[in-house]
Amino acid sequence: MTRTIVVSGGGTGIGKAVATRFAACGDRVAIVGRRADVLEKVAKEIGGTALPADLSEPAEVERVRADLAERFGTIDVLVNNAGGNVEGRGGSDGVAERWMGNFRANVLTSVLPTEAFRDLLNPSGRIVFISSIAAFRGSGGTSYGPMKAALHPYAFDLAAALGPRGITVNVVAPGFIEDTEFFGEALDDERRVMLVEQTQTGRAGTPQDIAETVHWLASSGGGHVTAQIIQVNGGAERGR
């Protein structure tokens, strides 16, 4: 059966890999993000639909909701992947500015679409949040880790609220994932080696690793898995 999948931050990295994985199975995929040109390129590649929007803005979220309802009527899977560590970008040096920046980028971009789209979800629907290893062990003094951690209890409460409808809600928390825009220009060879050495598998993660986990959670095989945080980090959170 063809399903309707919505992936935020679907133009690059993990989001693109997730969108591509579902599209490869014949699902209808809508990708949402701020950069229209990037989204349009990926949508063309995978045969999906691009819906440019800033998901930290309520009015834009409502516009996307109306578009989804008109195009598809209902949705089956919502993957809240949009986010990133925005501290240090744009010259905002105040504590409030830095924390609010990551709140908007990582909390609002997940909570606003989830609340807006939840009534569009079909029975046996799926919601997946993309968190981070930083939610467990910190993010080097930035507000990124605390903001990702805020999604965990929200997902637990949501799982309880939506469980009677047959909808599962889970969190996937990646560790170091290569081939994304997360680090920008900040990842040098020394730091990469350090991050890989923290794993027990001896390798960096890939966007495909996360895509496979999300796809399984959205499958019939993951139907009795809810209110869980799935860490995909090669054992790095445990240390070596």
> In this predicted structure, what is the pLDDT of residue 179?
78
Q: What is the pLDDT of residues 146-189, one digit of tens each?
A: 999 999 999 999 999 999 999 999 999 999 988 777 666 666 77
> In this predicted structure, what is the pLDDT of residue 184?
60
> In this predicted structure, what is the pLDDT of residue 89?
57
Give the length of the chain: 240
* Of 117, 144, 176, 182, catalytic: 144
> In this predicted structure, what is the pLDDT of residue 240?
54
3-state secondary structure of 29: strand
**Which own/partner pairs from 24-31 qualify as long-range (CB within 8 Å, at least 24 positions apart)?**
25/215, 26/2, 27/2, 27/3, 27/76, 27/77, 28/2, 28/3, 28/4, 28/72, 29/5, 30/4, 30/5, 30/6, 30/68, 30/71, 30/72, 31/6, 31/7
* Rounded Cα–Cα distance for residues 84 and 239 (Å): 23
> In this predicted structure, what is the pLDDT of residue 24?
98
pTM: 0.94
106: Cα separation from own chain's centroid: 9
Q: What is the mean pLDDT of each run of 10 residues along the chain (240 residues)?
A: 96 96 98 97 98 98 98 98 80 82 97 98 97 93 95 98 98 90 69 86 94 98 97 82
Q: What is the pLDDT of residues 197-220, one digit of tens each?
A: 999 999 989 999 999 999 999 999
> In this predicted structure, what is the pLDDT of residue 186?
63
Based on the residue annotation, tell me whether 144 is a catalytic residue of this protein. yes
User: How many other CB atoms sit within 10 Å of the CB of residue 206?
Assistant: 17
> In this predicted structure, what is the pLDDT of residue 5?
98
